[in-house]
Chain A
């Protein structure tokens, strides 16, 4: 009976992995590729580790597998955020069909400063493009 559950967990984990790989191969630019790979890849690894924990049925192995799942859950978003940030700051080209880039009007590449758009700032801190918004 547990063999069926282990098989389902392994197959779904591998399916998520192969979906992430197809996404990373087919999608057009860096943020969409990260969108495919980080979430689906992490979920695939977590599902496979769940299958391992269920298969051995031992408390020591299960504790390690759960610790691994928590570790993936903590580190995958951090790594994705850091890589995406670095990619955006180095000027990775976005897809032609991108309709909204909220960072472009807030981020000043010369001073490396990101405004929230809420602060009451002196004139020098307003990034280029922000004056259009205040006029409305």
Chain B
């Protein structure tokens, strides 16, 4: 039963990744793209968690923690870049 559920969850997360990627390519402003990137990072974290259950290797949790940390720092950095690289500052 768990195998079927894991395959289904893989499929749903792939669809979520596809939708977020469409927003990443289309997004009219840079902030929309940053939001889409953050969602992609959290979907990838979900992927890694499901993969840890699938393979039975619990060390994948460390990978998930590192991805979440990197995504948070990237969001902060992008936001500062968006705010500073502005016409108003010239």
Contact = CB atoms under 8 A, between A and B. Distances in A.
Q: Do A and B bind each other?
A: yes
Interface of A: 3-4, 6-7, 10-11, 13-15, 17-18, 20-22, 24-25, 30, 33-34, 37-38, 41-42, 44-45, 48-49, 51-52, 55-56, 58, 60-61, 64-65, 67-68, 71-72, 75, 78-79, 82-83, 85-87, 89-90, 92-93, 109, 112
Contacts, number: 166
Interface of B: 1-2, 5-6, 8-9, 12-13, 15-20, 22-23, 28-32, 34-36, 38-39, 42-43, 45-46, 49-50, 52-53, 58, 61-62, 64-65, 68-69, 71-72, 75-76, 78-80, 82-83, 86, 88
B72 to A, nearest CB: 4
Contact of A34 (B19, B35, B42, B78): B35
